[in-house]
């Protein structure tokens, strides 16, 4: 089953080191679906994700979503913390917590463009 851009899963981001974002937390799948199909076919191992936090921060580089579906808390998508992880860190057996709608995905994309000064 391929993952899709805009889906939110739990992922094990490891131990917190220095100021890195770690532990098991929700993450937004942010790479395109061509790469996601390659991950599903075991042709590619890494996934671009954006971590979420239950600490609500509303600024130019975050996007806030309300709890819904299996996402149990209002959360901040930390666009300034975009990262690549091995797909084995995704806890796919727990299922999709929620999905962003196309307007929400576009809003996150705008935050990333601002972050990268594009």
Higher pLDDT, 62 or 18: 62
According to DSSP, residue 18 is labeled T
**pLDDT over 90 for what percent of the chain?**
86
CATH class of the domain whose range is 7-115: mainly beta
pLDDT digits (tens, 9 = 90+) for 40-49: 999 999 999 9
Query: How much is the pTM?
Result: 0.91
Q: Cβ distance 47 to 77 under 8 Å?
A: no
Q: What is the pLDDT of residues 71-111, one digit of tens each?
A: 999 999 999 999 999 999 999 999 999 999 999 999 999 99
Q: What pLDDT score was predicted for residue 15?
A: 66
Q: Where are the domains of the chain?
A: 7-115
């Amino acid at each position: 089953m391929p993952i899709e851009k805009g889906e939110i899963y739990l992922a094990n981001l490891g131990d917190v080191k220095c100021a890195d974002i770690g532990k098991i937390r929700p993450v937004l799948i942010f790479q395109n679906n061509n790469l996601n199909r390659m991950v599903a076919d075991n042709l590619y191992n890494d996934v671009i994700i954006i971590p979420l936090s239950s600490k609500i921060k509303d600024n130019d580089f975050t996007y806030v979503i309300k709890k819904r579906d299996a996402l149990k808390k209002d959360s901040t998508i930390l666009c300034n913390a975009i990262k690549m992880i091995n797909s084995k860190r995704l806890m796919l057996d727990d299922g999709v917590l929620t999905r962003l709608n196309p307007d929400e995905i576009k809003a996150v994309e705008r935050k990333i463009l601002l972050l990268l000064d594009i």
